[in-house]
Amino acid sequence: MFKFKRMAVATLVAAALALAGCSAGGGGGATGSGSTGGTLTWGVIAQATTFQQKDMRWANESPYGQAVYDSLLITNPDFEVQPNLATKWEYNTDNTVLTLTLRDDVKFTNGETLTAKDAAASLLAFRDGNSPNKSLLRLVTDAKAVDDTTLEITLSEPDPGLLTAITQNAGLVAPADKVDDPATATDPVGSGPYILNTKETVVGSSYVFDKNKDYWNPDHQHYDKLVLSVYNAAPALLSAVQGGQVNVSNVIDRTTLPQMKAAGYTLNESQLDWQGFLIMDRAGTIVPALGNVKVRQAINMALDREALLKTLISGYGEVTDQIFAPWSPGYDKSLDTHYKHDVAGAKKLLAEAGYPDGFEVTMPRVGSLPAAQWTLMADQLAQIGVTVKYDDVQPADFISAILGAKYAMTWFQLQMGPTDWQLAQFQIAENATWNPFHYTTPEVKDWISTIQTGTEDEAKKAGADLNKYLVDNAWNAPFYRPTNVFVSDANTKVQPQTGNVVPYLWNVQPK
């Protein structure tokens, strides 16, 4: 048995935040053989927070969960929901009860058959657990087994995002008698394509998984062994790529991409997140100035987004003033450039708001990002009189400090969300995870309600109206949408996953 060190990696984590134990590589190197079999060595930038199903995280940690567990449903690379443990599903007439029919041929690694009882227990455990994504199931009031293969999920109100939620960590299934077993945090019991090899695993450095020979879906098993090697520093990761020690990997520092490409690796690009300032204290609870919309607008006008894009991520991305994704119904291209860089205009707004001499704000800072980045962000605000002070926090405390409403604003990177509803539930709604001050307005509530229960056209218009309102009222100060890059060697093919920072495990395979 081994002990995990808790790390600050969210569903939506920025690559450089993932300070994990340093790794020397894949323990013998990558072995892409050109056919199914061999070993896949995957460079990850986050060590596993836990393997306990109810507390599992996603995004950079999704390969850990997908290796050892199955989810009720899955999505293809284009984010279309497809069968998995559940072969079919349907809602009742008012969309408050979802009934799923499960496979009857799936076994856990302890030899027990997976049933609807296990799925129901897993859903409720996740809803009540400690995952940052537990809010995905906040509308679930009950989950029960009608019989061994029929699962019934009851909602307090319609949830347009439920099917997507149960393709991710919210839908992972463990045995009913194991969901509260702390031993599974380090020795999981699942029905997934691989089994964690606790003897060969070095926590924080290298996680080893063996092929589950009894797995029900061999089409999702492309290798005999999976090694997730953790890298917490760009030089170490670059060295591993140049030395052929990994088949595929995240990228920590985009300035290393030309060297990775020169080493024969393919750059698989996608967009997932927005990066910038989360302005969370919109009521001015701890920093009164931020309760004034003109102050928040001034912060947006102070930002030279083109310079930030070029300097911070080497131009790999697109500047934006909105948090809605280009593929979402509420996206409006014109809002990408709503705020012009205008220092004089920003100062004028601050004066009109009653802060002609500016004000002071404290933000958290982690050492996993270059010091120059923190300096540049502070300098841009200093030009309009906003003085930034930093609290240096440990990576393990970074997210909890933000979600605990300790800071009025912060730099961060968050997932944009595949739909307007999911984005709202994650970042905008009164009880959204990333709205720690629980700020809302009547207009915002009405638009979210329409997105939830309106017709397709009504929901689309509500999403667009909500997006414009958030930009006009400067709920945040986005910098850009960074281009997510996942590299693969000449022996490995990859299909990037819409809605996730890394490909799903089964979409990485030998050529």
CA pair distance 60, 252, nearest whole angstrom: 12
pTM to 2 decimal places: 0.78
CA pair distance 459, 330, nearest whole angstrom: 9
Asked if residue 441 belongs to a domain, the reply is yes
For residue 424, what are the contacts with CB-CB under 8 A and spacing of at least 6? 417, 432, 448, 451, 466
- Token duo for residue 383: 């030009």
Which DSSP string do the residues of 483-509 spell out, in sequence order? EEEEEE-TTEEE---TTSSS--GGGEE
Residues 389 and 444 placed together within one structural domain of the fold: yes
Residues 61 and 107 placed together within one structural domain of the fold: yes
Burial environment of residue 112 by CB neighbours within 10 A (0 to 12, 13 to 18, 19 or more):
middle
Q: How many CB atoms lie within 10 A of CB 142?
A: 13
Residues 252 and 350 placed together within one structural domain of the fold: no
- Token duo for residue 496: 């990037």
Residues 229 and 323 placed together within one structural domain of the fold: no
For residue 111, what are the contacts with CB-CB under 8 A and spacing of at least 6? none
CA pair distance 198, 244, nearest whole angstrom: 25
CA pair distance 231, 21, nearest whole angstrom: 7
CA pair distance 104, 145, nearest whole angstrom: 13
CA pair distance 399, 476, nearest whole angstrom: 17
**Radius of gyration over every alpha carbon of the chain, rounded to an integer in angstroms:** 23
Residues 323 and 416 placed together within one structural domain of the fold: yes
Q: CA of 502: how far to CAs of 11, 247, 350, 387, in Å?
A: 11, 14, 41, 36
CA pair distance 151, 115, nearest whole angstrom: 9
Residues 112 and 26 placed together within one structural domain of the fold: yes
- Token duo for residue 13: 């984590």
Residues 252 and 307 placed together within one structural domain of the fold: no
Residues 78 and 114 placed together within one structural domain of the fold: yes
Residues 200 and 302 placed together within one structural domain of the fold: no
CA pair distance 70, 74, nearest whole angstrom: 9
CATH of the domain at 175: 3.40.190.10
Q: What are the tens digits of pLDDT across the range 144-155?
A: 999 999 999 999
- Token duo for residue 163: 């099917």
Q: What are the tens digits of pLDDT across the range 82-109?
A: 999 999 999 999 999 999 999 999 999 9
Check: CB of residue 248 under 8 Å from CB of residue 487: yes
- b/e string for 36-69 if b means 16 or more Cβ within 10 A? eebbbbbbbbbbbbbbbbbbbbbbbbbbbbbbbb
Dihedral sign computed on CA atoms, order 71, 76, 78, 82:
negative
Asked if residue 8 belongs to a domain, the reply is no
Helix (H) or strand (E) holding 401: helix 395-403
Check: CB of residue 58 under 8 Å from CB of residue 185: no
Residues 326 and 394 placed together within one structural domain of the fold: yes
Asked if residue 181 belongs to a domain, the reply is yes
SS3 content of the chain, % helix, strand, coil (to 5): 35, 25, 45
**Structural domains of the chain, count:** 2
CATH of the domain at 444: 3.10.105.10
Asked if residue 368 belongs to a domain, the reply is yes
Asked if residue 89 belongs to a domain, the reply is yes
Residues 242 and 357 placed together within one structural domain of the fold: no
Q: Taking Cα atoms as reference points, which of 189, 139, 180 lies closest to residue 161?
A: 139
Q: CA of 32: how far to CAs of 18, 262, 442, in Å?
A: 26, 19, 55
Q: Taking Cα atoms as reference points, which of 150, 163, 136 lies closest to residue 11?
A: 136
Asked if residue 1 belongs to a domain, the reply is no
CA pair distance 312, 253, nearest whole angstrom: 9
Q: Taking Cα atoms as reference points, which of 4, 103, 78 lies closest to residue 48?
A: 4
**Segments of the chain with pLDDT less than 70:** 1-36
Asked if residue 10 belongs to a domain, the reply is no
Q: How many CB atoms lie within 10 A of CB 432?
A: 18
Q: What is the pLDDT of residue 189?
A: 98
CA pair distance 140, 132, nearest whole angstrom: 16
Residues 244 and 327 placed together within one structural domain of the fold: no
Q: What is the pLDDT of residue 132?
A: 87
Asked if residue 429 belongs to a domain, the reply is yes
Task: Give residue 216's domain range.
Answer: 15-265+489-510
CA pair distance 377, 379, nearest whole angstrom: 5
For residue 179, what are the contacts with CB-CB under 8 A and spacing of at least 6? 53, 54, 121, 122, 125
For residue 479, what are the contacts with CB-CB under 8 A and spacing of at least 6? 274, 275, 276, 277, 303, 305, 308, 309, 312, 319, 320
- Token duo for residue 413: 């990177």
The SS3 call for residue 511 is coil
CA pair distance 295, 358, nearest whole angstrom: 9
